[in-house]
Chain A
Amino acid sequence: MANSRLLDKKVCLITGSARGIGKAIASRFAEEGAIVYANARIAGSIDDWAKECSDKNETQVIPVYFDVTDYVTVKQVIMQINREQQHLDVLVNNAGVVSYELLGMIQPDNLRNMFEVNVVAMIQLIQLASRLMSRQKRGSIINISSIVGVNGVKGQLAYSATKGAVVSLTKSAAKELAPQNIRVNAIAPGMIGTERLSAVLEKNFSERISDIGLGRLGKPEEIANACLFLGSDLSEYISGQILGVDGCTVL
């Protein structure tokens, strides 16, 4: 296979890649020659897919099973990557949980859990990954935020707060890690037609679609393409940015 691929032999860790956007990112990265450490939660659940994806793209897709909130295991996996590859080039923080609750109905336990997964775990992954990256003075970290984290939205206050935190932590990490030549950017997707979102939208689809300038939902592959750009050397001089990938959505 041609070695002009954009991520040839780059070592990439992608969280939440069992389905939806994360799976699309892992597939796209493998197509571009990356050695992909694909994270999922249920042991064995992506073994078959990973093998298929490795064979098809003549690369390695290596499943790593952990919950992002389990710090001890996350650390072991980062050390595993270091042992096996001696470095890490790209981290995509994609794993996330979503909720839809009006202000008065936000349940504290849900709120805390969402912050644990979407924010605290993300910060810990950045802490650990950046220490590996700093050894080679090079790396790209991509955090998945959301258009609602940038603009706010009715009925998703708690979720939007976590995604707003992703925006600010991305900007701060970019500043702190720049001397190490580690770039940190975020992607703020609009409405992306994953199975999960399609199910949610079924009820009030026509009402929401009118918010999207391009008149259609985004595809997971379109988020993956933006990730590819930020993960590859094409974006070498870009850090601390929040890239909207939303088909010109106005909330």
Chain B
Amino acid sequence: MSNLEKYDEVFMTNFQVSREQLPVLTYQSVSVWDSVGHMGLVASMEESFGIMMDPEDIIGFSSYEEGKRILENYDISV
């Protein structure tokens, strides 16, 4: 599985959304991506990519696209 596939998979399983919805997905744009959903997303991201994110990155992870940039801080290119 490519990094992009893994990344998409985390969003799709956590938020029950389709791949087509992903590019425009931002924090709180869907009801499931609230603060609790956010911590669930972070936990799955960390598990999938074998990383632990710093609090500033957890806070900064504000959209599907922004998340890709944040993962670069952990040497993961999506």
Question: Which chain A residues have a beta carbon within 8 Å of chain B's beta carbons?
Answer: 75, 78-79, 82-83, 127-128, 131, 134-135, 179
Contacts and interface: CB of A to CB of B under 8 A. Distances in A.
Given A78-B52, A128-B52, A134-B40, 7 more contacts: A79-B52, A83-B50, A127-B55, A131-B52, A135-B43, A135-B47, A179-B36
B43 A134 contact: yes
A20 to B, nearest CB: 29
Interface of B: 36, 39-40, 42-43, 46-47, 50, 52, 54-55
A199 to B, nearest CB: 39
Nearest to A78: B52
Contacts of B40: 134
Contacts, number: 18
A71 to B, nearest CB: 8
Instruction: Give chain A's interface secondary structure class.
Output: helix
Nearest to A136: B47
Contacts of A127: 55
A135 B42 CA distance: 11
A94 B52 CA distance: 23
A135 B33 CA distance: 18
B47 A75 contact: no
A83 B51 CA distance: 10
A131 B52 CA distance: 9
B41 to A, nearest CB: 12
B3 to A, nearest CB: 19
A7 to B, nearest CB: 24
B43 A131 contact: yes
8 contacts: A75-B54, A78-B52, A82-B50, A127-B55, A131-B42, A134-B43, A135-B47, A179-B36
Contacts of A179: 36
Contacts of A79: 52
A134 B54 CA distance: 16
Nearest to A134: B43
A78 B46 CA distance: 12
Top-4 shortest CB links A-B: A134-B43, A135-B47, A131-B43, A75-B52
B54 to A, nearest CB: 8
Contacts of A83: 50
A91 to B, nearest CB: 15
Contacts of B52: 75, 78-79, 128, 131
Nearest to B42: A131
